[in-house]
A = this chain, B = another copy of it.
Amino acid sequence: MPNSPQPVSRPGGTQTPYWSVLRLTQYLALVKEVRERDAKWLTSKDIADALELTSATVRKDLTHVDILGKTHWGYDTEELEHALTTALGADQQWRVVVLGAGNLGRALTQHEEFRRQGYNVVAVFDSDSGKVGSKIGKTPVMGLDVLDDVIKKEQVQIGIIAVPPNAAQEAADILTRCGIRGLLNLTTAHIVTPPGISVVHSRIMSSLQQLSHDLRLMRPST
């Protein structure tokens, strides 16, 4: 669910299935949480019960991660957190640009959680010259004319697309031309990219529509 969760185009080499990667992110959130409560061990069944999965699914997913469980004990939570963090690339700092200084773009730019986890928004870009030059928190809003420079100079690896839907494909084109190979699409639009570019879709509007679809099927009062 991706909202996404969601469908992703991943470059050829990838072994770990899409669903497994999605669940690894949940395992990481869980292990962080239980470690705050000083839990030292976590079995595949513990994880499965917490996330409404089967223990077989958890164990299979963890074969994609550099961790070995211990009979009778399960997984050492410290090791597990480290292994998951590494597998997800969350053990390094990432530099991110946001395209679109609307409400969503501004919110993500200021979202503390991102920075805490190592995803640093270095700049926001907008085509509205009235916004260019201003700041969102400490992050500058810039014009698209300097996008290429900033990406190259700051070695930005990830682009977040938070523009209106009809501008999404163009935003993706610009970013890929600048050498970005990881895109997070927050718009309802589908975007197409050349091979070797990873795109993850996270569409909140789509999620709301999924919800209203489900609600519609429910009996009015049951």
Contact A205 to B114, CB < 8 A, known contacts A51-B190, A182-B212, A212-B90: yes
- Asked if A139 is at the interface (CB within 8 A of a chain B CB), the reply is no
Contact call A214/B3, Cβ cutoff below 8 A: no
In the complex, what residues of B have CB within 8 A of residue A70's CB? none
- Asked if A74 is at the interface (CB within 8 A of a chain B CB), the reply is no
In the complex, what residues of B have CB within 8 A of residue A210's CB? 5, 8, 21-22, 25, 88, 200
- Give Cα distance in the complex from A128 to B196, angstroms: 45
A189 to chain B, nearest CB (A): 6
Q: Which A residues from 178 to 222 make CB contacts under 8 A with B?
A: 181-184, 186, 188-190, 192, 196, 198, 200-218, 222
Contact A1 to B113, CB < 8 A, known contacts A89-B209, A188-B29: no
In the complex, what residues of B have CB within 8 A of residue A9's CB? 52
- Asked if A14 is at the interface (CB within 8 A of a chain B CB), the reply is yes
- The chain A residues found within 8 Å of chain B, CB to CB, are 1-11, 13-14, 16, 18, 21-22, 24-26, 28-30, 33, 36, 50-52, 87-90, 92, 94, 96, 103-104, 106-108, 110-114, 117, 119, 157-158, 165-166, 181-184, 186, 188-190, 192, 196, 198, 200-218, 222
